[in-house]
Structure 1
């Protein structure tokens, strides 16, 4: 993708005024933009919007590298542009290849987003995830197994999308709870088991979700 064809950008920025300014400049360049002003909910926002690139404010994060890893793992293969205050070069290198240091002009950010999308190349996320006979359209929020349409609840869809977007990785119930329900969710880990069981029943024999005894669940990429 490039600025001519646009793309969906998720702006995670703690200052609402700055987030709005970034949104305006990116929209002016042809991007579709969604914003999240609570960096702690960045991973949940990635699951909800499935952006083509994430602009991630790390300036207020207690553990910037930890937040960066969590968002990058969730967003993959979409690139993440890290936004920080001036940091040590060694720290900057740990925050990926796309990095913007405050203060910066809006056009610097637009350039960083465009560069991240260019480097992602044709492998940038198309909005459709597949695992065996299961196909998930993140933009249309639809799921099919072979030619059969499957009706999912909002939470079931978010949980399946997270697993399909991270195929081959084993997640604990606590990690899945945070990913699909968000940080601080009141639901217990047993809720994850119930939703996984419902997902498997709806997907039928084509379900690629596997239990890893003593750990949690993994979606096998077949």
Structure 2
């Protein structure tokens, strides 16, 4: 597994790289935001599996770097930072970070989180298939006029592409992989926003409303009062 470590402290980077290397990871080290962006799509290397992003970078704020990364790639981003306040956590997750780890951290937990985000973003992952007990994960979901392409994160209705934000796509893909199944609000917030903060509930409502509007299918996502939401597959 290939990781990009964005960390301006060389001593911290060296120690963490040594640990990760012992666990089978291949590490590319970037010391600032510009180096991190340059390392996203190198011509001579395999694609990145995950990015560990410090927020206190010398040339630009880590939040800004995360936003730029999200415009270029869907590679999982784990923010690894000393900023422990709730506002920073929420801001990072809303910018598109897949997870948020506060320093000092347990190395075992960090390793588990890296593997977790990699499993969630790898279509057709065998371990996930076995755990779900449903066989191979489909990479293209077709429901009537709606088509969801998981590998490319593209959505279309009647052949017309519908542009979605990262979180809108993640929400739609989660519901669409088990149409008819009711997902509890807490479960959706945990899976899509990686948080259990109660205030995220309003954000969920806004994203559901936005999906209904953008897709032009108001009945696609059904509200199950007091519980959560489920996707009602449209007729072919």
Scaled by the length of structure 1, the TM-score of the pair is 0.51
Match of 2:147 in 1: 135
Structure 1 residues 40 and 16: CA distance shift in structure 2, 3 A? closer
Scaled by the length of structure 2, the TM-score of the pair is 0.49
Gaps of 5+ in 1: 1-14, 23-31, 55-74, 82-95, 97-118
Equivalent residue for 1:191, pick from 188, 203, 223: 203
Q: Are residue 161 (structure 1) and residue 163 (structure 2) matched? A: no
**What is the CA-CA distance between 1:47 and the residue it aligns to?**
3.9
Match of 2:216 in 1: 204
Aligned 8 A contact 2:146 2:158 in 1: yes
- State the alpha-carbon separation in 1 of the partners of residues 226 and 196 from structure 2: 23
* 3-state secondary structure, aligned to 1:129: strand
Structure 1 residues 33 and 188: CA distance shift in structure 2, 3 A? closer
The structure having more radius of gyration, on CA atoms, is: 2
Higher RCO (CA 8 Å, separation ≥ 6 residues) = 1
**What is the CA-CA distance between 1:33 and the residue it aligns to?**
9.3
- State the alpha-carbon separation in 2 of the partners of residues 45 and 179 from structure 1: 13
Gaps of 5+ in 2: 1-18, 27-46, 51-109
Structure 1 residues 155 and 185: CA distance shift in structure 2, 3 A? farther
- State the alpha-carbon separation in 2 of the partners of residues 207 and 19 from structure 1: 47
* 3-state secondary structure, aligned to 1:79: helix
Aligned length: 140
Equivalent residue for 1:145, pick from 148, 153, 157: 157
- State the alpha-carbon separation in 2 of the partners of residues 194 and 41 from structure 1: 30
Q: Are residue 37 (structure 1) and residue 111 (structure 2) matched? A: yes
Aligned 8 A contact 1:141 1:157 in 2: yes
Aligned 8 A contact 2:124 2:138 in 1: no
Structure 1 residues 45 and 181: CA distance shift in structure 2, 3 A? farther
Structure 1 residues 213 and 130: CA distance shift in structure 2, 3 A? same
Aligned 8 A contact 2:146 2:155 in 1: yes
Superposed, 1:12-161 pairs within 5 Å as: 16-17=20-21, 19-20=23-24, 34=49, 37-39=111-113, 42=116, 45-54=118-127, 75=128, 78-80=129-131, 120=135, 124-161=136-173
